[in-house]
Chains A and B, each alone.
Chain A
Amino acid sequence: GAVVSQHPSRVICKSGTSVKIECRSLDFQATTMFWYRQFPKQSLMLMATSNEGSKATYEQGVEKDKFLINHASLTLSTLTVTSAHPEDSSFYICSARASGDTGELFFGEGSRLTVL
């Protein structure tokens, strides 16, 4: 099956710093990538939809300036958590859908962010 790679898998940072998480589709072109946040024992919460070459579409309540998303190519989307605070600590997961495909999503491995 298709492979989506997410990096880093774990990151610990100090409060006030910025952290970048990368999501790559390794063997297919992904025109659309999705970024989720998951709190313990809760379901995935969609943060934003990232389309290659255009601005991301953010879900209600998600701060655009706080969570910067860039989808510069058909195989790479990045999420930057700016000026991170302890409440931003969470499990962040990306997923990708192949071009023209309205079906299965392929998920990255997830990134656990801990802000001290």
Chain B
Amino acid sequence: EIVLTQSPGTLSLSPGERATLSCRGSQSLSSSYLAWYRQTPGQAPRLLIYGTSTRATGIPDRFSGSGSGTDFTLTISRLEPEDFAVYYCQHYGSSLRYTFGQGTKLEIK
């Protein structure tokens, strides 16, 4: 079973700053099947990035994804007020199983 570990657990930044969020797999991950979501309180997760680096429909270009092997990164270049939320990575593995990370909370400093 692949385990996804996200870091940091909480990230405190100010609007306009750059955020870098990490997702590490316990085994090598398929870059085609690595996605990122944003969740605000009381809402369902929203797809941001899929296939490691492709932005989902309607997602602004301040969001970018990268990585390979076991280490993947979500970068938000300039934080907007709506970006302060919880972020999750998700992977689909060869065992036909979907796994989520435990989340990174991005809070206003």
Partners in one complex: no
A interface with B by C-beta (< 8 Å): none
